[in-house]
Structure 1
Amino acid sequence: MKKLTLSALKKRKNNLPIVMITAYDALFARLLSESADILLVGDSLNMSFGGNADTLSATMDQMIYHTNAVCKGAPETFVITDMPFGSYSDEGIALSNALRVYRETPADAIKIEGGADKAHLVKHLVDNGFAVCGHIGLLPQSVRAEGGYKVKGRSEEEALSLIADAQAIEQAGAFIIVIEGVIADVATRVAQSVSIPVIGIGAGNGVDGQVLVFSDMLGLYEPFVPKFVKQYTNGATVVKEAVNIYKNEVQNREFPDENFIY
C-alpha cells in the first residue's frame, strides 16, 4: 500500500470514510496497517500501556519512542503523533516539541487538543512547516480541569461553540480534525461546517471517518469499555485461553514435544 498524502486525505471529505486506529508499537502497527488509512500514536498509551488513570503524565520522550516503533512497523501508513499534555502551552514550547517529533521520528503529522483557543498554536505550527491535526469536543487532556470525561454538544450553545472551534482550527491551517465525545447530530453539523475531514470517536456516523483505540476495539482492555466502543473480537479471552493452554502443557510436560526441540 502506498502512503496516503495530505491532499489525498483531504479529498476523502464527503467521500470514502477515513479509517484511523491508534497504535503504540511496531507489532500492532504492522497488523493494523493493512486496514488503517491513518495510525494515531495516541497519548492514550499512557492508559492502555502504562496503566495510568488518564493521559496527563505522558511525556515527549514516550511519544517519540512509540512513534518510532509505529513508523518502523508501518512505514507505508500515514502516522500522526499526539502532542502530550504540557507540550504546547505556548507557541515557543509548541514549536520546540513539534521540532523534536519531526527531527527524531518519521511521523507525518502532529495532533493537539483544543478549539478556537488553540488556533493560534495551530497556525504557528503550520506556518513553520508542520502538518497539524486538530482535536475538539471532549478533550482527554482537560479531564481534571473539567472534573471528568463529559459529552459535549448537549445544548445549542455548545453546538455553536464546537462549530466555531472547528472553523477556527481549519482557518488556522489544520488538514484534519478529530472530534470526540460529541452528540451525534451536533458532530454531523460540525463536519458539514468545514471543508476538511472530521474524524469521529464517540461522535456518531455523520462525519468523515472514525478512530478507535486498538485495545478497545479488539477487546483487550478490560477495566472499562466506553459506550461508543464496539468490540470486534474478545481479545482478552483469546489471549487468556491461549496462555492457559501453554501453562497446562508446560506443567504437564507436554510442551515442548519432539516437534519443538533441536
Structure 2
Amino acid sequence: MNSKFTTQSFSKAKQKEEKITMLTAYDYSMAQIIDGSGIDAILVGDSLGMVMQGHDSTLEVTMDHMVYHCACVSRGVKHALVVGDMPFLSYHVSTEEAVRNAGRLIQEGKAGAVKLEGGKNMAGTVKAIVNAQIPVMGHIGLTPQSVNIFGGFKVQGKQEAKARALIEDALALEEAGVFSIVLEAVPEELARIITEKVSVPTIGIGAGRYCDGQILVINDILGAYSEFTPKFVKQYAHLNATITDAVGEYIQDVKSQKFPEKKHTYAMDESLLKKV
C-alpha cells in the first residue's frame, strides 16, 4: 500500500491475475477510511444521486455535483486511484463538451480518471477524451443513466443478440482506449467471455466471479442504505441498525440528563468566574 494505484496498475493486475478491488465514496471522511483500508480504486459514482441526494435514479446528478464530491474524496485519498463518474448529459451533447467536462473532473475534482456509460455508441467520445490525455473507464451492461430505456434496473445480455452486442461494445471500448470496463448486471458466463476477449481489466458489479475485479456501493456493503439492496450485494456490516441504536441511546441520555457528564465539560478559573 506504499505506492499509488494507477491505471497502469489495473493492467498489471490483470496480467498477474490479481483481483482488483473497488468501492464508491462520496465524501472526505469515508474516502480516508476506505483508502486507509487498502482499497485499489475508489469510484465517486453518480450513484450519489440515490444514496446521498435521495433521488430515485442517477439522472438528477450534475457536473457541479460530481466535481464537488470528487474534490472531497480526492483530499482523503493517498493510495487508491480516484475515478470520477461523468453524469447524465455531460458527454452526450458533443465531443467537445464531453472532453471539457472530463477535464473538469481531473482539473477541479482532482480525479485520476473518469468513467462513462455506453459501448459502441460512445467509442468516438471515449477516444477523444483519451486523446486529451484523460484515462477513461468504460461501463456497459446495466447502465443506470439509461434506466428509462431499459424500463427499470434489469439484467442485461440474457438474449443472444444482446449478449453479442455487449461483447461488441466491450471490444469497441477497448479499441477506443479505455483502461478498464465495468460490467454491471450481466450473466456470469457472459461476463467471463467478455473478460477473456478483452485485454483490459473488467470490473464486475452483479457480473459474477470471473471479472478481473469487483466494485460495490459503500453504503450497500455497510448496510447504511435501506431503500433497496440488490441481489449481488453482500453486506459486511449493518450500520443502519447500529446508528439507529446509537442515536436512540444519545436521545435518552440527553433527556435523562446522563449526558453531558462532568468529563465532557470545560472548566473556568473560579477567580476569573467571580469577575464575570
TM-score bracket, normalised by the shorter chain, equals over 0.9
The one of 112, 132, 137 equivalent to 1:133 is 137
TM-score where L is the length of structure 1: 0.98
Q: CA deviation at 1:73?
A: 1.0
Alignment partner, residue 273 of structure 2: none
The one of 174, 179, 182 equivalent to 2:178 is 174
Paired residue secondary structure (1:99): helix
Q: Cα RMSD (Å) of the superposition?
A: 1.0
| In structure 1, distance between residues paired with 2:107 and 2:12 | 28
- 1:22 and 2:24 are equivalent in the alignment: yes
The Cα offsets for residues 30-70 of structure 1, whole Å up to 9 and x where unpaired, read as 11112310000000001000000000010000000000000
The one of 233, 240, 245 equivalent to 2:237 is 233
| In structure 2, distance between residues paired with 1:101 and 1:233 | 31
Alignment partner, residue 62 of structure 1: 65
Alignment partner, residue 10 of structure 1: 11
The Cα offsets for residues 69-111 of structure 1, whole Å up to 9 and x where unpaired, read as 0001113321000000000012111011112122212210000
Paired residue secondary structure (1:12): helix
- 1:47 and 2:50 are equivalent in the alignment: yes
Tell me which amino acid in the other structure corresponds to 1:204.
Answer: G
- 1:35 and 2:35 are equivalent in the alignment: no
Q: What 5-or-longer segments of structure 2 have no aligned partner? A: 267-276
Which has the higher mean CA deviation after the structures are superposed, 116-125 or 5-14? Answer: 5-14
| In structure 1, distance between residues paired with 2:247 and 2:4 | 36
TM-score where L is the length of structure 2: 0.93
Q: What 5-or-longer segments of structure 1 have no aligned partner? A: none
Q: CA deviation at 1:145?
A: 2.0
Alignment partner, residue 260 of structure 1: 264
CA contact (8 A) 2:38 2:79 kept: no
Which has the higher mean CA deviation after the structures are superposed, 11-20 or 113-122? Answer: 11-20
Which has the higher mean CA deviation after the structures are superposed, 107-116 or 94-103? Answer: 94-103
Q: CA deviation at 1:156?
A: 2.0
Identity of aligned residues (%): 45
| In structure 2, distance between residues paired with 1:188 and 1:63 | 31
Write out the 4+ residue segments of structure 1 that deviate beyond 3 Å after TM superposition. none
| In structure 1, distance between residues paired with 2:172 and 2:118 | 10
Task: Please identify the structure whose Cα radius of gyration is greater.
Answer: 2
| In structure 1, distance between residues paired with 2:107 and 2:262 | 50
Aligned residue runs from structure 1 range 236-247, under 5 A: 236-247=240-251
Alignment partner, residue 85 of structure 1: 88
CA contact (8 A) 2:40 2:79 kept: no
